[in-house]
Amino acid sequence: MDKETAASRLAELRELIHEHNYYYHVLDEPRISDAKFDMLMKELLELEKLYPELVTDDSPSQRLGGAPLATFPEVRHIVPMLSLENAFSEGEVKAFYRRLQKNLGLEQITLVGEPKIDGLAVSLYYEKGKFVRGATRGDGERGEEITANLRTIRSLPLRLRKNFTMEVRGEVYMPLLGFERLNREREEAGLSLFANPRNAAAGSLRQLDPVVAAQRPLDLFVYGMVQLDGERLNSQWEILNLLKEVGFKVNEHVRILNNLQEAMDYYEYMRALRATLPYEIDGVVLKVNELVYQQAVGYTSRVPRWAIAYKFTAEEGITRILDITVNVGRTGVITPLAELEPLLLSGSVIKRASLHNEGMIREKDVMIGDTVIVHKAGEVIPQIVRVLKEKRNGEERPFSMPEQCPSCGKKIYRFPGEAALRCLNPACPAQVVERIVHFASRGAMDISGLGEALAINLYRAGLVKDVGDLYTLTLDDLSRLERMGKKSAENLLNALERSKENPLHRLIYALGIRLVGERAARLLAAHFGSLPRLAAASWEELVALKEIGPQIAASLQDFFGQQETKNVLQKLEKAGVNFREPEPQGEEELLTRNLEGMNFVLTGTLQHLTREQAREMIEAQGGKVLSSVSRNINYLIVGEKPGSKLEKALKLGIKVLKEEEMLQMLDGSARARS
């Protein structure tokens, strides 16, 4: 292909990829499958590699991160990024509304209600439709330029659907599932944990290395515009609609509120909806809708007089720490756990909260017997907020981390720069069991029926010492285990046999390599194609891959260099476990995926799966899991306490499935393909 043809094709590919990113990340209405999208992206990257001089600033390839920065340049905001006045009671909101009535001389004032996303405020500047600069709020007058990191956010348009020059304000946040996954990976790696999704989003945006930011699950909602050339708008509602029209993601729960009572009703509605949202909100923002009225009431030195943030009060509870125990994870990390007097919080009973590491225990001065305040971080994760030291009576006992592993009795260590203590014994029983459970999990090799209880029994019976031994199990072996009937044993052996056909990326993730999560496993499998090639890769080859930094590369080399790993891989290869990643699917192959083109939404708490596991299962069969209910959805999967999504789905006539029905559908689809 000559340069002129390549330039034409690259322009076409950029347009196609931008368009499909918009449908996927902004509208939640994907028009093509992931496999087709990946093929477009692969073609773009290959052409840009051949013709690097044709790479543009708004190319989708620029989302993957660039060279690390020495520091963040300072940016002066054209229009200051002011804070909002906070209200914590109905009386304060009524006073705000009365001031508006007095200043404007109006009886009824139309407001716009918006969820207050708990993230990091950013300013985005576009020239003739192209994203050129982004910055943090900073002190309101000056912020830090974080353009390279913002480019990595998939829902941020690198090029608008109209060639406007404009400055947009928004909030970068981290979805709850992404936050949980990130902290889980950091805990396994012995790194300090983020306290909440907001801190995680802020820490990710302030990474000097954009490649690190690209690995973080960040998202963006926009809510305002302070400068626009060539267009005249009259209201906040018009601004939000224009932002959607040109390609931005605007929160679906924004509402027009015609009077004070509607504003109060909106607050209660969002407070009830809060627990079902896939991201954190800490209140609602109420803004005067008409821009001429905003200008009329004006600003103080620090806040606009035409807007207020009506904050939620966090649901917290008081309980007592009965004991502090420790858990040994699959990578050897020793995690202290607070065993609590049962506490009902946000609709569920809390009995345990992670204390994460020794440093957190010292920082919060936690003792056995302490009375503590607990809340659910993001309405999901139980977290000890603080100790009520005034409740101490002298019977409290300090806790010390053990010097030996509670599972195997070996000495434990802390690596330089890490917060966690580790057991380094690869034969540690707790680690072996956890590795087996992880290997068999839905996101990994998906070996149905192999949970923690069975893994413990297999280990104690001497049948399984590592994951390679799973494939040598026989019906006779399993029949010797307590509570293992013939049918259950046959089902397990069948599940093991099916797992041999899994693609390479599942195996890489299943092996539990430190720092290698599901995304990194997919990248490695796609690049190297086979496990032997990955195992033999040099450090230079590994770090040359985008999103695979020096730490992951070192972890991979350490893992594949161990004799224990070589022994396990020999067992897996002998058993016939697939070591290769399939080629990208062509058009005919895509048609065989039974859920291809079907869109799903998950709501409520599932009993047998996490939402991440359910998503993996659906996407493995060609389906797509979206975050919001619309006419484009085929099925709503409901668990306990489904919330408003169920009501909306019923109004739209969307088919509703319980978790068991979803599993039957997926099982039937899998059998139809086999």
The residues that bridge with 324 in the sheet, in sequence order, are 338
pLDDT of residue 251: 94
Does position 194 have pLDDT exceeding 50, yes or no?
yes
Beta bridge partners of 321: 340
295: Cβ contacts below 8 Å, ≥ 6 apart: none
Q: What is the pLDDT of residue 588?
A: 36
Q: Which residues, 6 or more positions from 640, have their beta carbon under 8 angstroms from its beta carbon?
A: 604, 605, 607
Tokens representing 593 are 């995926």
Helices 563-575 and 550-561: crossing angle in degrees, nearest 10, is: 70
3-64 belongs to CATH 1.10.287.610: yes
Confidence check: pLDDT of 333 > 50: yes
How high is the pLDDT of residue 68? 52
Q: Return the pLDDT at 589.
A: 40
* Strand-pair partners of 352: 339
The structure tokens 């690097």 sit at 52
CB atoms within 10 A of CB 145: 19
Give pLDDT, residue 379. 46
Tell me the average pLDDT across 431-442: 92
Q: Is 495 helix (H, G, I), strand (E, B) or coil?
A: helix
Alpha helices in 387-451 (DSSP H): 429-440
Top-ranked range on mean pLDDT: pick from 64-73, 157-166, 254-263, 409-418: 254-263
Reply yes or no on whether the pLDDT at 612 is more than 80.
no
- Give the pLDDT mean for 355-366: 90
Res 526: pLDDT: 87
What confidence score (pLDDT) does residue 69 get?
59
Task: Please give the mean pLDDT across all residues of the chain.
Answer: 86
pLDDT above 70 covers what percent of the chain? 92
Residue-wise DSSP of 239-270: HHHHHHHTT----TT-EEE-SHHHHHHHHHHH
Chain segment 199-209, per-residue pLDDT in tens: 889 888 888 77
294: nearest Cα among 501, 531, 21, 110 = 110
CA 134, 182, 600, 674 torsion-angle sign = positive
- Does the pLDDT at position 335 exceed 50? yes
pLDDT at 606 (0 to 100): 80
Q: Look at residue 337 in the predicted model and tell me its pLDDT.
A: 94
Stronger pLDDT, 507 or 88, i.e. the higher one: 507
248 pLDDT band (50/70/90 cuts)?
very high
pLDDT (0 to 100) of residue 428: 93
Q: Is residue 652's pLDDT more than 80?
A: yes
Whether pLDDT at 530 is above 90: yes
* CATH of region 429-575: 1.10.150.20
pLDDT of 594 reads: 65
The structure's pTM equals 0.58
The predicted model gives 622-651 an average pLDDT of 82
Q: What is the pLDDT of residue 524?
A: 92
The residue type at 70? A
- Rounded Cα distance, 467 and 568, in Å: 7
Say which range, 39-48, 550-559, 588-597, has the weakest mean pLDDT: 588-597
Q: Would you say 635 and 623 are in contact if contact means Cβ atoms under 8 Å apart?
A: no
Domain boundaries, the chain: 3-64, 76-311, 316-407, 429-575, 592-673
> Please, what CATH class does the domain formed by 316-407 belong to?
mainly beta
Angle among Cα 376, 380, 383 to the nearest 5 degrees reads 35
CB under 8 Å, gap of 24 or more: what pairs does 664-670 form?
666/595, 666/617, 666/618, 666/621, 669/594, 669/595, 669/621, 670/621
Tell whether the model's pLDDT for residue 591 goes beyond 50: no
**How much is the pLDDT for 522?**
84
Residue 590: predicted pLDDT: 36
609 is written with which tokens? 């799966």
pLDDT at position 61 is 77
Query: What 3 state SS string does 349-371 have?
Result: EEEEEECCCHHHHHHHCCEECCE
Return the DSSP state at 52: G
Predicted pLDDT of residue 346: 62
Q: Which CATH architecture has domain 76-311?
A: 2-Layer Sandwich (3.30)
Count CA within 13 A, CB hemisphere, residue 55. 14
User: Which residues participate in catalysis according to the annotation?
Assistant: 116
- Is 143 or 546 the better-scoring residue by pLDDT? 143
Q: Record the tokens describing residue 614, joined without a space.
A: 């359910």
Chosen CATH of 592-673 out of 3.30.465.10, 3.20.20.140, 3.55.50.30, 3.40.50.10190: 3.40.50.10190
Element (H, E) at 151: helix 147-151
Distance CA 262, CA 544 (A): 55
